[in-house]
Amino acid sequence: MGEKTVSENFRSKVVTQGVQRSPNRAMLRAVGFQDEDFNKAIVGVANAYSTITPCNMGINQLAQRAEAGIKRAGAMPQMFGTITISDGISMGTEGMKYSLVSREVIADSIETVCNGQNMDGVIAIGGCDKNMPGAMIAIARMNIPAIFVYGGTIKPGHYNGKDLTVVSSFEAVGQYSAGKIDSEELLAVERQACPGAGSCGGMYTANTMSSAFEAMGMSLPYSSTMAAEDEEKADSTEESAKVLVEAICNQLLPRQIITRKSIENAISVIMAVGGSTNAVLHFLAIAHAAGVELNLDDFETIRDRVPVLCDLKPSGRYVATDLHKVGGIPQVMKMLLVHGLLHGECITITGKTIAEILADVPDEPPSNQDVIRPWNNPMYSQGHLAILKGNLATEGAVAKITGVKNPSITGPARVFDSEEECLDAILAGKIQVGDVIVIRYEGPKGGPGMREMLAPTSAIIGAGLGDSVGLITDGRFSGGTYGMVVGHVAPEAAVGGAIALVEEGDSITIDANSRLLQINISDVELANRRAKWQPRPPRYTKGILAKYAKLVSSSSVGAVTDLDLFNE
């Protein structure tokens, strides 16, 4: 069967057409173009393959399937690479400061290549946490036909009859330090936690963002929960390429799909599946890139009406592959749609609406499983990502309250100016029941890079203190974090936010029910401390971290690097 030709080379014709472009065509011939290819649409394949993390090590095969699908659909693929950082491997080290920075590098690199080469569209394929928002920020900025393909989730490891993820290993460190397991069991968990290719298996940041992109309409149905190593993932990638070429023909553009209503759909799904706090930061940034109005309070509005339907790790029992087996994200979406919590009229990259895609999905999940709970018996009656405000976070902060018996605590502050100092104190048994840990100068500017705090939060859980110790930070949390934890505290310490003024032993209140984050001292005392506070010198004065610290905005608006660049 012969290949068809798609001649909708709306952008790439400036490179391939005309006598003056003979040198351009000469170079394209060297990479495989034939005479007949110069009239075809050129489609970028943004390939985040690397072997520095299991999340991305299977992506090259998917990129090759995408190439084949683009050619079969009558267009011409051009593959290029983009970077990734392994959050899990860099966790707890200085390297983690580059994680959120990598979101901007990924966005900038995809934008640079697609616009520099005048591509007609792009299929972005990513795995680790920042690949998804980085790609979507670029897609929203450029507004050329695009689709996102998730590299797929890892299958669970197994030990003593329990499913394992990489978070199991982080928690085992805390268990070992608390004397609950021996070194032999710690090593056994380490050896079994990550059995192959794919992104971390629970509803952590990678699976949260892939699920949200499916809900938003920028990825194919069911694709967000497929295992990286299963053949259906490769098949779905080739189908994604075909759908993208159709979108190029029809000039279906990302900003027709990424709208206020579709972002609300994505946030509703994030709440329903118990997703990562990082989704708040990333969707603020995606909305900014797409020119969509979105703020922290919008997350709270959606949380108030959407229940948590799925029993997924980190606070629950199951992993993403279990969710996939019982209907995946379409099943969750259909339940939300039936109960008036999705905008069914939103268009998707397929050209169909959400309601059309979900038409044949059952209204309720299968009765012989408990990964997705029935509507009348949810895990929680409201969403799990609460937006807190108060004198400690006048711009806002994000609390993840799933798995917490009582989402309220008032206790003495235990103050640390870095993640490492805090982790050392936890592992040494210096944190007591009722303490409220404060980790500061880890925000977007202060870190810089807003490190995730999976090591200390997992150590708290491993030590059995998850329900009795609070933790607040101007840094972030891994999608694998749970407990009484509050991140994204803004303004951050580096710019003189109130978190910089907390002293050891101060009384602090975290109250998710009242949406309150407060230091219990007088306004006069707080003002006196602020008058004495002096900013710290930059930790980095050259290179990417210095540039990032100079440009990055508050976490309350997404920690973006292009906010009001020329309005200062």
So which residues are the catalytic ones?
478
Residue 166 has a CB neighbour count (10 Å cut-off) of 27
Contact 331, 221 (CB under 8 A): no
How many angstroms separate the CA atoms of 145 and 350, rounded? 11
Eight-class DSSP state of 436? E
For 303, the token pair is 């949380």
H-state helical runs in 381-500: 419-427, 454-462
What's the angle, vertex CA 140, arms to CA 330 and CA 255, rounded to 5?
A: 70
Position 517: which residue type? L
How many angstroms separate the CA atoms of 139 and 280, rounded? 18
Radius of gyration of the chain (CA): 24
Between the alpha carbon of residue 277 and those of residues 68, 335, 359, 486, 556, the distances in Å are 36, 23, 30, 9, 12
Chain position carrying tokens 């990479």: 31
For 43, the token pair is 């489609």
Give strand pairing partners of 485: 400, 471
Contact 246, 74 (CB under 8 A): no
Longest dimension (CA), the chain: 79
For 45, the token pair is 């394949």
Position 191: which residue type? R
Q: How many helices (H) and strands (E) does the chain have?
A: 21, 14
How many angstroms separate the CA atoms of 212 and 135, rounded? 14
What's the angle, vertex CA 23, arms to CA 22 and CA 26, rounded to 5?
A: 90
Nearest to 398 by CA among 520, 292, 297: 297
Q: Is 23 left (phi over 0), alpha (psi -120 to 50) or beta?
A: alpha
Instruction: State how beta strands 146-150 and 507-511 pair.
Output: unpaired
Omega cis (within 30) before 456: no
Containing 42, the helix (H) or strand (E) segment is strand 42-47
